[in-house]
Amino acid sequence: MRYAIVYVSNASEDLEKDQIIDILYKSKDWNNENDITGLLLFSGGNFFQIIEGEKKVIFDLFQEIQADNRHENILQIFGKEIYKDAYNGYESDFVADDSFYDPEKFQDYLNQIKVLEPSAQLAVKNILKAFLPI
């Protein structure tokens, strides 16, 4: 069974820009190697992530994410079984501030949330508004 978790968190105050870029690249690589789709955003000192994959893998990954001291105030927006991946056919990717922001690519990712229930779509869109202009 596939599972999705969406969360937001605050970067730790002592987290340097090069460490953030390292997190983004390493999470992208690890997720793609482990059949996890989704999106990781970083903007204004905050992370937003959608992770989708096999339920046990996602649960284990989210436990690691919660234990990671490079961020805090982790708020899970939702976690649920999914029957159709929102990001099916996409590798995990990231967007970080203006330096990595590609409006066309981001809009393509945003279109993928249409498979979510309307209430989940609204929650995700509202959070995304805080990260990037949509």
Q: What is the pLDDT of residues 8-57, one digit of tens each?
A: 899 999 988 888 888 888 888 888 888 888 888 887 788 888 888 999 99
pLDDT tens per residue, range 95-127: 555 555 566 666 665 666 666 667 767 777 766
Fold category of 2-131 in CATH:
Alpha-Beta Plaits (3.30.70)
Q: Are 31 and 38 in contact (CB under 8 A)?
A: yes
Bridge partners of residue 131, in order along the sequence: none
Would you state the pLDDT for residue 58? Answer: 95
49 phi and psi angles, rounded to 5 deg: -140, 140
59's tokens: 């649960």
The pTM is what? 0.72
Amino acid at 96: A
The domain locations on the chain are 2-131
Beta strands in the chain (DSSP E): 2-11, 37-43, 46-54, 71-82, 93-96
